[in-house]
């Protein structure tokens, strides 16, 4: 017993002294949507910088900002721009930040492969289907388009806490967080995939990366925003369409936010620089869509000038914006 106590005490002393000369640490946290990109960048970055340690957590965009604004992290992953309440929180704690878009995420509307009728939908039809007033009244396919079958429609979508849900409702219904409540929701997108893949009358929406991994079990619905400026007719969320900005309004930019004080540190500068240059091919590798090169250059310039604030004015998600236009304006 005595010897065991000595061993434990010894281990404690050793570990505490070791902490004193640990390698420099970069901490990131936030959205689970952005996580795979930051993870991939961290993995590659650490191969080149053996003395730097990068950690990435998943506490959601909102949870990530809470930690970021309490100065607990250097970087925050965000699947939407910072919201007014978060701007206020950061301001109260004297935290300023640099907002950097890192990729596009396309939201795909999907049906079961045995569905022969719903190959395309307009945004207006999506709104009829998903707006709060549709609850309990729009329950059959024929109510959306008269020539569609008079069969029940079964809806699947992410839970109301997710950034994906916020963006979809903002883009389709016109108000973030407003939708019908009578749909099957899950925080786990794989559950939604399973639902749509096994139900012939299903319609669901989730990140396009989940379609890419389950192509044989799902079928995409082309979306028409009826705005010729974004391409004519219904458009599929292919890599090109999202990258060119014609898959509107269901393509959104996703971000990292960098604490401006942390940005003074050499390892953070190296990491962010790596993210916006060598990180570009990694974005595609993990299932997202790279921004145009111009946007990465503008973002990098923004970081190098340590330009703070949000190009979205701190008002949260915005729909149908060209990211390079926004970056160039500011």
**For binding to other proteins (CB under 8 A), which residues are involved?**
8, 12, 15-16, 18-19, 22, 25, 27, 29, 32, 35-36, 38-40, 42-43, 46, 53-59, 67, 70, 72, 188-190, 193, 207, 209-210, 212-214, 282, 285-287
Residue closer to other proteins, measured from CB, 122 or 184:
184
Q: Cα dist. 274→53, 213, 320 in Å?
A: 14, 27, 28
Question: CB of residue 195 vs other proteins: minimum separation in angstroms?
Answer: 15
Q: What would the 3-class secondary structure string for the chain be?
A: CHHHHHHHHHHHHHHHHHHHCCCEEEEEEECCCCHHHHHHHHHHHHHHCCCEEEEECCCHHHHHHHHHHCCCCCEEEECCCCCHHHHHHHHHCCCCEEEEEEEEEEEEEEECCCCCCCCEEEHHHHHHHHCHHHCCCCCEHHHCCCCCCCCECEEEEECCCCHHHHHHHHHHCCCCCCCCCCCEEECCHHHHHHHHHHCCCEEEEEEHHHHHCCHHHCEECEEECCCHHHCCCCECCCHHHHHHCCCCCCEEEEEEEEECCHHHCHHHHHHHHHHHCCCHHHHHHCCCECCCHHHHHHHHHHHHCCCCECCCCCCCCCCCCCHHHHHHHC
Residue closer to other proteins, measured from CB, 195 or 245:
195
Residue closer to other proteins, measured from CB, 277 or 325:
277
Question: CB of residue 193 vs other proteins: minimum separation in angstroms?
Answer: 8
Residue closer to other proteins, measured from CB, 58 or 319:
58
Question: CB of residue 280 vs other proteins: minimum separation in angstroms?
Answer: 14
Residue closer to other proteins, measured from CB, 39 or 297:
39
**Residue 145 half-sphere exposure, CB side, CA atoms within 13 Å?**
13
Rounded to whole angstroms, the Cα distance separating 327 from 69 reads: 23
Residue closer to other proteins, measured from CB, 19 or 305:
19
Question: CB of residue 319 vs other proteins: minimum separation in angstroms?
Answer: 24
State the residue for tokens 């915005």. Answer: 318
Question: CB of residue 18 vs other proteins: minimum separation in angstroms?
Answer: 5
Question: CB of residue 187 vs other proteins: minimum separation in angstroms?
Answer: 8
Question: CB of residue 286 vs other proteins: minimum separation in angstroms?
Answer: 5
Question: CB of residue 147 vs other proteins: minimum separation in angstroms?
Answer: 33
Residue closer to other proteins, measured from CB, 56 or 276:
56
Residue closer to other proteins, measured from CB, 54 or 129:
54
């Amino acid at each position: 017993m005595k010897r065991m106590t000595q061993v434990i005490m010894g281990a404690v002393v050793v570990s505490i002294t070791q902490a004193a000369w640990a390698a420099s640490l970069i901490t990131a946290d936030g959205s689970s949507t952005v996580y795979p990109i930051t993870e991939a960048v961290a993995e590659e970055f650490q191969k080149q910088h053996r003395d730097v340690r990068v950690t990435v957590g998943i506490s959601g965009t909102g949870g990530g900002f809470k930690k970021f604004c309490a100065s607990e992290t250097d970087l925050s992953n965000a699947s939407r721009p910072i919201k007014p309440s978060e701007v206020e929180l950061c301001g109260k704690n004297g935290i300023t930040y640099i907002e950097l878009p890192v990729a596009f995420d396309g939201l795909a509307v999907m049906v079961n492969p045995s569905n022969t009728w719903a190959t395309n939908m307009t945004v207006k039809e999506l709104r009829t289907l998903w707006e709060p007033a549709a609850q309990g009244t729009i329950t059959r396919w024929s109510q959306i388009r008269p020539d569609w079958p008079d069969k029940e429609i079964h809806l699947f979508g992410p839970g109301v806490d997710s950034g994906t849900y916020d963006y979809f409702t903002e883009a389709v219904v016109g108000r973030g967080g407003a939708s019908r409540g009578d749909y099957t929701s899950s925080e786990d997108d794989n559950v939604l995939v399973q639902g749509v893949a096994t139900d012939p009358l299903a319609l669901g929406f989730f990140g396009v990366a989940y379609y890419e991994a389950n192509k044989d079990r799902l079928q995409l619905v082309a979306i028409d925003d009826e705005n010729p400026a974004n391409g004519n007719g219904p458009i599929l969320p292919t890599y090109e369409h999202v990258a060119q900005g014609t898959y509107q309004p269901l393509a959104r930019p996703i971000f990292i936010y960098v604490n401006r004080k942390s940005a003074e540190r050499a390892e953070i500068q190296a990491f962010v620089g790596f993210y916006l240059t060598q990180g570009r091919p990694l974005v595609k590798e993990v299932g997202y869509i790279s921004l145009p090169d111009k946007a990465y250059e503008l973002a990098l310039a923004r970081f190098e000038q340590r330009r703070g604030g949000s190009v979205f004015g701190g008002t949260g998600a915005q729909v149908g914006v060209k990211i390079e236009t926004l970056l160039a304006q500011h």
